[in-house]
């Protein structure tokens, strides 16, 4: 590990500073995260709306209303159709990144961002106007395409625009936007829950259109990244932009590195084949395992089902929605911590700290539920116990928000050389969405069968991912994005895969 730290210190330090321009650019680009976040939140909110359930999922509604005296408490909300609805966005978002990666490579990061915002905008309209479940699901598939394009292009855009010393923080603006999106949507739900009739769920779905528009219009105003401009052969423009965003004329060294990277990228005929070559094994493995583990923290169980979960634990309707707002606030605030620390303490520190905190919190909640609800799911928490569970869930969300949440988007977007960056990120997004889909689709059934043991299942993965980070994920803080090779060369395991340079 010492060898890696030395590699990082001996790395290049480019000239330039953090300019207001680059901050504004990154803030605008990060709004792409809003659409993803809002949608995660809408899923949680609309599935707890009685009107919504009555219209589209009557059987779940009836089951819920009857209180099911004789039914296992863990199985109350188990409905394949309901989970199919919540998951359908992720089915589209699994496939979309592959198309997005071609658009991003050929036409630039900006093109994918605009397209993503527009498709999302159309999808929100369809969803909020839905007259039947088909319309609802088609709208949601379009939202998925928008999210797939956004998540594929925005993190890469941010990592390329940011100066090395602040790359982590600026990239985490994206996760910040995701968490704000989740919070806004739970607030919208909370305040519209008492609206008469359909408006209570139509309004929140329609509100998403505004976010799609912000993303599309915002991206329209942005310049493309210097790396993208070079790929398109616009060398003069690329250098001019680099000078502007770095606030100095002295950008020759960085520009040369970008230029070399873009020349190498131009020679690559098929980036998909390229990423499978042995010399790109570290990037490929990380782009696969990081999203896999990010989702197996179990975070989306809380994000999607917090209101349902809190209801199961005995909170009333409004209290359950309010708890979701609370976890949303914690999520946003804890992401700030990541922004402040990621370029100081590094990625590995946050990975470790976050995972250990998640393990402690989730294990304790699982034991508490196990003791009180046993294997039947029938039981209750005293007010103190319910508050303690809420506290532990918030501490778990905080831990995720300053570790695996942002790092799951940052690390894959910064470790790949230009020639495979787009496809690496497409793999990351697609797998992230596949796992989100799988967990979301199976969570309610798994809860029904594994009962409180389900929470131990996630803890097991949290232990595995910590071991994985310890051995296989080197520190990338402070290393220029086109100079990452030195990190692999200094790594005890990956060095044999990477050729000398
Ligand atoms: C994850 C999402 C999750 C969100 C929570 C993101 O990094 O990819 O699946 O819902 O964080 O804040």
> What φ, ψ does residue 116 adopt, rounded to 5°?
-60, -45
Q: Please give the Cα distance from 42 to 181 (Å, whole number).
A: 9
Q: What DSSP element (H or E) covers 133?
A: helix 133-161
H helical segments located in 416-452? 418-450
Residues 365-403: tens digit of each pLDDT: 999 988 988 877 777 888 888 889 999 999 999 999 999
- Find the 258 Cα to ligand 1 centroid distance in Å: 31
Ligand 1: atom nearest CA of 405 is: 7
- Find the 434 Cα to ligand 1 centroid distance in Å: 13
Record the tokens describing residue 87, joined without a space. 């998951």
Ligand 1: atom nearest CA of 40 is: 10
Closest CA to 165 of 52, 297, 24, 12: 12
3-state secondary structure of 264: helix
The share of the chain scoring above pLDDT 90, in percent, equals 62
Q: Please give the Cα distance from 294 to 405 (Å, whole number).
A: 7
- Return the residue matching tokens 């899923």: 43
3-state secondary structure of 290: helix
How sure is the predictor about 6, in pLDDT bands with cuts at 50, 70 and 90? Answer: very low
Give the mean model confidence (pLDDT) for residues 240-249: 94
Quick check: CB of 40 below 6 Å from ligand 1? yes
* pTM, to two decimals: 0.91
- Find the 440 Cα to ligand 1 centroid distance in Å: 13
Q: Which residues contact 280 (CB under 8 A, 6 or more apart)?
A: 274, 416, 417, 420
Nearest residue by C-alpha to atom 6 in ligand 1: 405
Q: DSSP readout, 313-359?
A: TT--HHHHHHHHHHHHHHHHHHHHHHHHHTTTT-HHHHHHHHHHHHH
Confirm if 206 and 124 have CB atoms less than 8 A apart: yes
Helix crossing, 80-107 with 133-161: angle to 10°?
Answer: 40
Torsional class of 478: left (φ above 0), alpha (ψ -120 to 50), beta (otherwise) = left
Torsional class of 411: left (φ above 0), alpha (ψ -120 to 50), beta (otherwise) = alpha
pLDDT of amino acid 377: 73
Quick check: CB of 262 below 6 Å from ligand 1? no
Q: Give the chain's length.
A: 501
Give the mean model confidence (pLDDT) for residues 234-258: 94
Ligand 1: atom nearest CA of 295 is: 9
Nearest residue by C-alpha to atom 1 in ligand 1: 405
> What φ, ψ does residue 407 adopt, rounded to 5°?
-70, -25
Q: Please give the Cα distance from 356 to 363 (Å, whole number).
A: 11
Torsion of CA 339, 340, 341, 347, to 10 degrees: 20
- Find the 300 Cα to ligand 1 centroid distance in Å: 7
Q: Which long-range contacts (CB under 8 A, 24 or more apart) does 365-370 make?
A: 365/389, 365/392, 365/393, 365/396, 365/455, 366/452, 366/453, 366/455, 366/456, 366/459, 368/392, 369/313, 369/452, 369/455, 370/451, 370/452, 370/453
Nearest residue by C-alpha to atom 12 in ligand 1: 179
Nearest residue by C-alpha to atom 9 in ligand 1: 300
Quick check: CB of 405 below 6 Å from ligand 1? yes
Record the tokens describing residue 108, joined without a space. 């630039």
Q: Is 380 exposed, middle or buried (0-12, 13-18, 19+ CB in 10 A)?
A: exposed
- Find the 408 Cα to ligand 1 centroid distance in Å: 9
Nearest residue by C-alpha to atom 3 in ligand 1: 300
Higher-scoring residue by pLDDT: 353, 84: 353
pLDDT of amino acid 7: 44
> What φ, ψ does residue 143 adopt, rounded to 5°?
-60, -40
- Find the 261 Cα to ligand 1 centroid distance in Å: 31
Residues 456-489: tens digit of each pLDDT: 999 999 999 999 999 999 999 999 998 999 999 9
* Distance from the Cα of residue 38 to its chain's centroid: 12
Nearest residue by C-alpha to atom 11 in ligand 1: 405
pLDDT of amino acid 1: 47
Residues 108-131: tens digit of each pLDDT: 999 999 999 999 999 999 989 999
How big is the CA angle at 337 (ends 42 and 456), to the nearest 5 degrees? 60
- Find the 34 Cα to ligand 1 centroid distance in Å: 11
Ligand 1: atom nearest CA of 436 is: 9
b/e burial code for range 326-351 (CB count within 10 A of at least 16 → b): bbbebbbebbebbbebbbeebbbebb
Q: DSSP readout, 162-214?
A: S-GGGHHHHHHHHHHHHHHHHHHHHHHHHHHTTSSTTHHHHHHHHHHHHHHHH
Least confident window among 34-43, 77-86, 237-246, 349-358: 77-86
- Find the 338 Cα to ligand 1 centroid distance in Å: 14
Quick check: CB of 283 below 6 Å from ligand 1? no
- Find the 188 Cα to ligand 1 centroid distance in Å: 19
Integer Rg of the chain from CA: 23
- Find the 492 Cα to ligand 1 centroid distance in Å: 31
> What φ, ψ does residue 239 adopt, rounded to 5°?
-70, -40
Confirm if 489 and 479 have CB atoms less than 8 A apart: no
Record the tokens describing residue 494, joined without a space. 């990956």
Confirm if 485 and 501 have CB atoms less than 8 A apart: yes
How sure is the predictor about 67, in pLDDT bands with cuts at 50, 70 and 90? Answer: low
Q: Inform me whether the pLDDT recorded for 66 exceeds 70.
A: no
Quick check: CB of 320 below 6 Å from ligand 1? no
Confirm if 34 and 177 have CB atoms less than 8 A apart: yes
Reduced DSSP (H G I as helix, E B as strand, rest coil) percent helix, strand, coil of the chain, to 5: 80, 0, 20
């Amino acid at each position: 590990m010492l060898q890696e730290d030395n590699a990082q210190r001996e790395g290049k330090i480019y000239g330039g500073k953090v300019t207001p321009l680059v901050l504004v650019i990154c803030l605008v680009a990060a709004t792409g995260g809003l659409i993803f976040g809002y949608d995660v939140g809408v899923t949680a909110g609309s599935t707890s709306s009685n009107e919504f359930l009555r219209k589209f999922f009557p059987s779940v509604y009836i089951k819920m209303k009857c209180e099911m005296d004789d039914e296992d408490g863990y199985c109350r909300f188990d409905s394949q159709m309901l989970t199919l609805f919540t998951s359908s966005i992720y089915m589209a978002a699994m496939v979309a990144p592959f198309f997005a990666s071609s658009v991003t490579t050929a036409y630039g990061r900006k093109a994918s961002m605009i397209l993503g915002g527009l498709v999302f905008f159309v999808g929100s309209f369809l969803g909020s106007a839905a007259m039947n479940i088909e319309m609802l699901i088609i709208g949601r598939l379009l939202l998925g395409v928008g999210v797939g394009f956004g998540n594929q292009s925005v993190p890469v855009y941010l990592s390329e625009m940011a100066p090395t010393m602040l790359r982590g923080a600026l990239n985490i603006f994206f996760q910040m936007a995701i968490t704000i999106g989740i919070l806004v949507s739970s607030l919208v739900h909370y305040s519209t829950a008492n609206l008469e009739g359909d408006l209570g769920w139509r309004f929140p779905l329609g509100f998403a259109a505004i976010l799609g528009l912000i993303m599309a219009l915002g991206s329209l105003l942005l310049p493309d990244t210097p790396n993208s401009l070079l790929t398109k052969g616009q060398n003069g423009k690329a250098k001019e932009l680099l000078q502007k965003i770095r606030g100095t004329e002295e950008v020759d060294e960085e520009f040369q590195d970008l230029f070399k990277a873009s020349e190498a990228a131009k020679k690559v005929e098929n980036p998909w084949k390229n990423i499978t070559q042995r010399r790109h094994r570290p990037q490929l493995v990380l782009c696969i395992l990081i999203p896999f583990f990010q989702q197996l923290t179990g975070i989306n169980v809380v994000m999607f089902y917090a209101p349902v979960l809190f209801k199961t634990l005995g909170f009333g309707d409004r209290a359950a929605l309010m708890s979701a707002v609370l976890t949303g606030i914690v999520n946003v605030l804890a992401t700030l911590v990541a922004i402040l620390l990621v370029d100081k303490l590094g990625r590995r520190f946050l990975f470790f700290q976050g995972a250990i905190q998640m393990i402690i919190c989730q294990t304790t909640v699982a034991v508490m539920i196990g003791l009180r609800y046993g294997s039947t799911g029938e039981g209750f928490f005293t007010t103190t116990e319910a508050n303690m569970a809420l506290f532990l869930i918030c501490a778990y969300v905080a831990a995720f928000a300053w570790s695996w949440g942002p790092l799951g988007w940052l690390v894959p977007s910064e470790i790949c050389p230009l020639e495979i960056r787009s496809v690496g990120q497409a793999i990351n997004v697609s797998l992230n969405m596949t796992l989100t889909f799988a967990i979301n689709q199976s969570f309610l059934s798994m809860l029904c069968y594994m009962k409180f043991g389900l929470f131990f299942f996630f803890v097991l993965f949290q232990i595995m991912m910590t071991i994985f980070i310890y051995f296989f994920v080197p520190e990338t803080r402070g290393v220029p994005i086109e100079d990452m090779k030195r990190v692999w060369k200094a790594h005890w395991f990956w060095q044999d895969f990477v050729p000398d340079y």
